[in-house]
Structure 1
């Protein structure tokens, strides 16, 4: 019955948005209310869940997306994004531009949370698509695939890191196995799959990309453009290295954690960009602040829709749907890797959040390691892979991709949801094959 109610909620959400053209944020809140009541939650508790879902989703994400949008707009408006795009096109050639995006996304994805990397790389993707005159998803899908694989497979991302802790897995081995499996997965879900999406050719969204063609003198250098954009990556990577290499209580560790925190790292990058992309390019402080104000106006509705997705997810969690699914999966005798992946996949489809699905599935599957002797490192990746399967309307990431790429719901399912499913299935197959090789 709980899963039937979730199915009704998803169907209602699609009806409200596709048939009645209701705003996504309003539709998500209405559906969250209805599903919560039908699941038997008191009305007052449903409201509490919705508030905590919006607040929990946007708590730090609003700051990170806000600072990321500021950095991206400054990068675009000064010509930095054009400089990076033209340089990459010159080096790789138009026919190989997807590989440039994959390499960049994979590198950025090691240190950045998915949402941060997505927002920071969007100006580059928009610039490449506009400059090379190629379909937006042709470069957008490889970028999203690279970021999503690192988010699902590799520490220090929240899901894999939390599961590795639960499973007592070796973090170095997890990173090594995950990186080996990530390469073919990114290739299949990114450059290969994007070739099947040529029918979806959307223009670059207005306001998120500056169509002005800058002269050579107007643009900052390639080094300045890249290093300013990568400041958050460097700071968060240093934090990750410090946490792995330094003992607890080391005098440097608190500073590394402070400056490497995603919010602090993106704030520092904006402050640096105000100088390198603004004042140092001859722009007044007022002009730079106008650019920053414009960037926030652009993402206002996007933030609300992501918050609505978080509200729907929280109602599903608080109503006990996760516990119900867990009880259904107990007592099975199938492969521990397949079982762990299946638990995470079902939770992901029902709850939306990859991190919540991964951590919940990790707690359920942890006893399997001791009883079956399965590799804890491969179990981490199996759960991580299951946790990214078929993102749809109850996942804030679905709306992030939809809104930024200006897609319809069906176009988002065809591109983003299928992309995530390819990553998930490839991760499972890779784990099973690697398990045969190392056992």
Structure 2
């Protein structure tokens, strides 16, 4: 019965969002109430369960999420993202243009959210495609691959951060393992698959894209920050979190005790501290150093946070649904079903996230709902690598982007493809990211 109730809840969520066109956050809260009552949670406890799930999720990621948005906006508004993209494209040359776009998009995508990366880079890709007289789709697919992989695997993106918190995984380790998994994944999906896609849907590669999509501020190259400082600023939170993770990895092996330096490194390597320091660095490198008034910089920060309002609520709504499933005993029920199972928790997390993603459309909601169903199984396996389970959840949440995913429509419209062409390119591409992510995570689990 608990699984049937969950299935009905998922179906109701799909009907509300796709059928009645109801707001995703409102739909999540309605379904949370329905599922809570159906699972037998006492009426007096239902509201508390929903509120604790929403607050618990946002309480941890709200700070990181907000600071991450500010960092991305400061880099974008200063022209740093343009500098990174244009410099790499110039260095790689015309023959390796797809590699240049993949690399640039991956760097920019670490600091920016999926949708922002697409909106920011599409105009740059438009101009390159016209200059080189190549298809916008040929250049667009590597870009969206890198953005999707960063979104699924790498902190400070909301999905990996939130899921790491639910599993109590080390964020720094998630970042390091995520980069290891993401690199071969984006090469397969972003470089090799488009060569096959041109045979599957050749008409897609004749498109010129939507010239009106993603219009943004244009920069003269001399007006933008330098390439080195732009890359350093974008990757600064990655550097700090990686330092913290390296300390955590090496300390037990080398057997040295805590001292003031180790405590300091661990402090600046925590995700919240790393993001705060990165924003302060960006205020200087992207603003004050270039004599941009503090008022203008703070307007960029404010506009970044203002745009997050509904997304934060949706993430909170996903957390509310997760808590209802926990309090309603669904996780314990699944744990009993899989008691004594030999299935890898990495594979199990991927399957659950993939099913939720296909049904719900939102990768973030899928990742937030997965831990409630996976944690009871993990609790019976003390040696599970929680960072790898986090990555498997992120990989599953990327699968089969289709009509119930906002990102699908953004990619389709920006690249000017038909529905069939979008299925043959982005839907398959996102599935390759998900499957490759799982495969490389399983391979990594053999060594760590």
1:387 paired residue number = 393
Aligned mates of 1:355, 1:340 — CA distance in 2? 11
Aligned mates of 2:351, 2:77 — CA distance in 1? 43
Of the three residues 146, 149, 167, the one matched with 1:145 is: 149
Partner secondary structure for residue 286 of structure 2: helix
1:326 paired residue number = 335
1:117 paired residue number = 110
Q: In 2 relative to 1, CA 76–231 (structure 1 residues): closer, same or farther, beyond 3 Å? A: same
Residue 282, structure 1, aligned to residue 298, structure 2 = no
1:363 paired residue number = 379
**TM superposition score normalised by structure 2:** 0.71
Aligned mates of 1:315, 1:287 — CA distance in 2? 43
Matches within 5 A, 1:58-69: 58-69=58-69
C-alpha deviation, 1:345, in angstroms: 4.0
Q: In 2 relative to 1, CA 131–145 (structure 1 residues): closer, same or farther, beyond 3 Å? A: same
Partner secondary structure for residue 397 of structure 2: coil
2:73 paired residue number = 73
Q: In 2 relative to 1, CA 47–269 (structure 1 residues): closer, same or farther, beyond 3 Å? A: same
Residue 267, structure 1, aligned to residue 260, structure 2 = no
Tell whether the 8 Å contact from 1:159 to 1:358 is kept in structure 2 after alignment.
Answer: no
1:30 paired residue number = 30
Aligned mates of 1:283, 1:163 — CA distance in 2? 39
Partner secondary structure for residue 224 of structure 2: coil
C-alpha deviation, 1:342, in angstroms: 4.7
Deviations 1:113-134 (A, max 9, x none): xxx9363676555433220124
Aligned mates of 2:393, 2:217 — CA distance in 1? 40
Tell whether the 8 Å contact from 2:57 to 2:315 is kept in structure 1 after alignment.
Answer: yes
Q: In 2 relative to 1, CA 309–98 (structure 1 residues): closer, same or farther, beyond 3 Å? A: farther
Residue 223, structure 1, aligned to residue 216, structure 2 = no
2:44 paired residue number = 44
Tell me the number of residue pairs that the alignment of Structure 1 and Structure 2 aligns. 396
Tell whether the 8 Å contact from 1:159 to 1:359 is kept in structure 2 after alignment.
Answer: no
Tell whether the 8 Å contact from 1:54 to 1:307 is kept in structure 2 after alignment.
Answer: yes
Gap runs ≥5 in structure 2:
127-135, 357-365, 414-418
C-alpha deviation, 1:105, in angstroms: 7.3
Deviations 1:161-181 (A, max 9, x none): 9689xxxxxx9xxx89x9876
C-alpha deviation, 1:242, in angstroms: 2.2
Of the three residues 108, 119, 123, the one matched with 1:130 is: 123
Residue 86, structure 1, aligned to residue 102, structure 2 = no
Give the superposed CA RMSD. 4.5
C-alpha deviation, 1:32, in angstroms: 0.8
